[in-house]
Amino acid sequence: MKKYLSLFILLFSFNLFGAEIINIFPDIEKRVILSKNNINRISLSNDVVESFQANKGDLVITQNKKTKDLYLRVNSSTKKVTSLFLVTKNGYTYKLNIAPRYVTSKTLILNNPNLNSSKRADKNDNYKQNIISLLKDFYNGKVPDNYQFRSKFKNRSKIKLKDFRVITKNTLIPLNYKEKRHKKYKIEKYLIINKSKELKELNEQDFHKDGYVAIMLDEKSLLPKKSTNLYMVKSVN
């Protein structure tokens, strides 16, 4: 099915949307741009931050205790490039030269290509294949084992787009979503109608919301009064 080539999947190893992935190497300086007026996030793709050091007063930094990701805001008085040193659990030291700019909030994923991430890559591949298989069954009208089909559901995701009408269609839900041994997902199907008098372009990322791990559109270009199906996959455990 060619439509599945446009499936947008969020990789759980990053668990984010719109991230900038940057290759970085130990003891080699890397210049990055961060938002000056919004909070930013820094994460490592195959390691975690154990400690960090920055010039006093230049950055306000907090660290998530569970993920070890850094959340930082540039001090409003900082106009020049400032440095941030990161020491990782695997013993690497990275230096970021941060250039503050008036841009939207940014998420940086720092990736060291020299680290072996094959296990994570295999896990990501299985994760993607499971979602694609589930979505393919639903698309073809099949109900996978341990799932049930519902013809109606409430639009709790509150999808709103200018010039479009959104209608809920049906859903696929797991029978036992509280089971922790296996990841469970819910699929929601919507009908998207172009209400305008112009050709409109859609993108899977337009519909991203927290908790949803995959999104698919049947069609991305809609003429006036034409419609397309939208499929949204949500993690429920």
Q: What is the predicted pLDDT for the residue at 4? A: 40
Alpha-carbon gap, residue 49 to 70, rounded angstroms: 8
Q: CATH 2.60.40.1550 in the chain: give the residue spans.
A: 26-111
Measured at the CA of 36, the angle between CA 55 and CA 93, to 5 degrees, comes to 40
DSSP states of 40-69: EEEEESSS-EEEEEE-TTTEEEEE-TTT--
Alpha-carbon gap, residue 147 to 187, rounded angstroms: 10
Amino acid at 100: P
Architecture per CATH, domain 26-111, reads as Sandwich (2.60)
**Chunked mean pLDDT (size 10), the chain, 237 residues:** 46 47 85 89 91 91 92 83 93 93 86 66 68 84 86 68 87 76 82 92 80 83 90 84
Residue 137: alpha-carbon gap to chain centroid: 23
Q: What is the predicted pLDDT for the residue at 5? A: 39
Alpha-carbon gap, residue 96 to 98, rounded angstroms: 6
In sequence order, what are the residues at sequence separation of 6 or more whose Cβ sits closer than 8 angstroms to the Cβ of residue 65? none
